Amino acid sequence: MPAPLIQAPLEGFMRSRCPKQTGDLRVISAWSSDSLHMTPRARGLLKRLVEGWLLSIRSELRTQPTDAERALAVAAELCGEKLSRFVTSAPSAQNAVDIFSGEWSSKLPDELNVHSGPFLLFDDPRLHWALGAIGGVRGKEVLELGPLEAGHTYMLEAAGVKHVTAIEANVRAFLKCLIVKELTKLQAADFLCGNFVEFLEQNNRTYDVALACGVLYHMTEPLRFLELLGKTADALVIFTHYYDEELIRRNQRVAGFFQGAAQARAGGFSCTVYRQTYPGEARSCVAFSGGTQPFSYWMQKADIIAALEHFGFRRIETSHDEPEHQNGPGFSLIACRS
């Protein structure tokens, strides 16, 4: 059975919002005590029911993430997707990868000989360009924000980095990083599980390089984030989407996610930032790789560059501009203090 702490708020919510379904909840609670022994059909039915509930619960509880997280924990338990299961075949790299079967974004290195995901994050042309542009990372201390599945971490190690501190908030992504660390024998990386914004707010040491790839557009305070990066590293590598009214308006896939703008200020710089809300289906997907909040603010490209100049970066180079990217216009940049 789900723990009373978790079950009570869920039942309360169901009673107040979906009185017709409380009977189903009791059935599911009873089933959950034996969920690991369900027939696949029963488990599929249960999963669909829970997923439907989760969508409504999440939109209702958007302002109460703790309850939503509890609901998720219940769902995971009800669906029998706990990590406490056994592998009965001989040990293999594929067994470790399959703990998160169907959830990998990255194509893991060929030498592992495993089935994983489609994206070339372990051999990313953007990072090859950026490392060349900042003069490499050999012997350097690097801070990596949002490693996802450790693809860039793997590239940093191959490039001779002295040490990488990589901070990941998504617990599934964090565990995938640990699997990669074990399978590829990464020696120079420590993965920390937590929110890198909180880390940056408290941090008082500097790094040679900070990698902020695929994260700026997930920030609720992107300008403050750039200011913090400016206090943290002598060189930055940033891959990000950016706001461009015309390009976003033309992109039907993302245009509807944007609503409203705000004035941001940080460290003596100010600019307009543009609010996007993640679609509910995206956040409920186990492979979600976005931010910790239901929304974020995007910056315009010119403002990102101007803010970095304001925060003390003298040499800024851009590359890989993809105005028509399906997820919104994006580009890569490096910024160096000297």
Query: Which residues make up the interface to ligand SAM (CB under 6 A)?
Result: 121, 146-148, 152, 167-170, 173, 195-197, 213-215, 218, 239, 289, 291-292
CB of 257 within 8 A of CB of 241?
A: no
**Counting runs of H as helices and runs of E as strands, what totals does the chain give?**
14, 10
Residues with Cβ within 8 Å of residue 193, at least 6 apart in sequence: 168, 169, 171, 174
Q: How far is the CB of 130 from ligand SAM (least distance, A)?
A: 11
Whose Cβ is closer to ligand SAM: residue 120's or residue 255's? Answer: 120
Q: How far is the CB of 305 from ligand SAM (least distance, A)?
A: 19
Both tokens of 186, joined, read 């990464």
Residue 71 or 121: which CB sits closer to ligand SAM?
121
Q: How far is the CB of 193 from ligand SAM (least distance, A)?
A: 9
Half-sphere exposure of 87 (CA within 13 A, CB side): 12
> CA 164, CA 153: separation in Å to the nearest integer?
7
Please, what is the minimum distance in Å from the beta carbon of residue 15 to ligand SAM?
A: 33
Using the minimum distance from each CB to ligand SAM, give the nearer residue, 137 or 169. Answer: 169
Q: Which residue number places its CB atom closest to ligand SAM?
A: 146
**DSSP-assigned letters across all residues of 278-305:** --HHHHHSTT--S-SSSEEEE-BHHHHH
Nearest CB to ligand SAM, comparing residues 24 and 221? 221
Report how far residue 237's alpha carbon sits from residue 134's, in angstroms, rounded to the nearest whole number.
8
CB atoms within 10 A of CB 76: 15
Nearest distance from C-beta of residue 150 to ligand SAM, angstroms: 9
Shortest distance in whole angstroms from residue 30 CB to ligand SAM: 35
| Dihedral angle over CA of 24, 27, 29, 34, nearest 10 | -140
Name the residue nearer to ligand SAM (CB basis): 77 or 168: 168
Give the containing element (helix H, strand E) for 62: none
CB nearer to ligand SAM: give 218 or 310.
218
Distance set, CA 289 to CA 73, 159, 214, 282, 284 (Å): 18, 25, 9, 9, 11
Closest separation in Å from C-beta 304 to ligand SAM: 16
List strand residue ranges (DSSP E) for 203-327, in order.
Answer: 207-213, 233-241, 258-266, 269-277, 295-298, 315-322
